[in-house]
Amino acid sequence: MRLQRIFSNGWLVGLRVEVDQDFDAESDADPTADDVELDEIYGYVSTPWGRIEIGEQDGPADTFALHAPTVGTGQIRGDFARYAGSVARLKPFDSQDTFKVIYLSPPIGGLRFGASWGPELRVNPTNPDPRRRTLQSDPIEFAAQYQTPINDKMVLAISGAYVTANSNPITGREDIDSWSIGAEARWNKLRLGGAYVVRGDSNAAFGRDEEEFNAGASWREEKWTIASSYAHITRFGSSRNLYGLGGSFRLTKNLILRSDFVVFDEKFISGNTRNGTVALVDLRVRY
């Protein structure tokens, strides 16, 4: 839902409310979560000098960071991990949709940048075990994206994002210190993208040293989409490869058929290995 008004001086003032579901098997702040309900509500003011948003929504490190494109149920960042394996992260560890103040610049010769600050990122704050809580104060996000057209059909883009926050010592978790660089090429309905992501020990109870490389391609038509993606992840001294292929097809105005096929292999620091394949099909109803 969106309510907005344009004033005589050209300023746009509005309110936006979103309710959605994210079925990733692992959330950033709570790796044991089966699903995370995302509710966003924020007000905004757009002027010739930029846009200010205040409320509960994702910050610029989420919206500006480029990475492997996904469609449907998400491929390497998708629903497969509810049954086996774990997802790729694609982007830096960010402050999610907690309350924050955001500034987004207007386009300046193809460049856009943004910054945000919030008082705290809190997950499971009432859990009796402090180690199960996420309490990160003063989360700050910086991000920028530059786009340039090559011709009337092709656009190239690059991005950079950085996130920092201070962990409450009672949780025994590390501070957030995460960044990424990404690139994307768009030609007609084809999109190629990838990113290098460093999450380090962000919000970890002990040394995680997490890094990721991801890349992929997608093609989007009005009634159907298809995408393929790959990720290589290292953390805790172990490594993981993910290969995903999936798509969606709009059956009717309100019914969307989605499917994914994901293969993963993992090698642990102990020398043990694990691999698996997940295929899934679902029917999404939209109102």
How confident is the chain (287 residues) per 10-residue block, as mean pLDDT? 86 87 47 51 94 96 97 94 94 95 96 98 89 94 97 95 97 96 97 98 90 98 97 94 97 95 95 94 88
Q: How many CB atoms lie within 10 A of CB 283?
A: 9
Cα angle: 153, vertex 111, 50; to 5 degrees: 120
The region that residue 144 occupies, defined by phi over 0 for left and psi between -120 and 50 for alpha, beta otherwise, is beta
Helix, strand or coil, per DSSP, at residue 284: strand
Domains of the chain by residue range = 58-285
The whole-number pLDDT of residue 28 equals 54
Output the pLDDT for position 31. 43
Q: What are 282's two structure tokens?
A: 């679902």
Give CA–CA dist 129/197, Å, rounded.
30
As a whole number of angstroms, the distance between CA 265 and CA 121 comes to 32
* Architecture of domain 58-285 in this structure: Beta Barrel (2.40)
| Residue 263: CB atoms within 10 Å | 17
Q: How many CB atoms lie within 10 A of CB 26?
A: 17
CA atoms within 13 A on the CB side of 55: 15
Note whether 105 and 118 are within 8 A (CB).
no
User: pTM higher than 0.85, yes or no?
Assistant: yes
Q: Which residues pair with 42 in a beta bridge?
A: 16, 55
pLDDT for residue 20 = 65
Length of the chain: 287
pLDDT (0 to 100) of residue 287: 73
Q: Which residue has the tokens 């943004």?
A: 114
Q: Which tokens sit at 54?
A: 């205040």
DSSP 108: B
Residue type, 29: A
Q: Cα–Cα distances in Å, from 17 out to 20, 40, 56, 111?
A: 10, 6, 9, 28
Q: What is the pLDDT of residue 26?
A: 46
Task: Please give the pLDDT value at position 35.
Answer: 44
- For the four alpha carbons of 79, 74, 208 and 132, in that order, the dihedral sign comes to negative
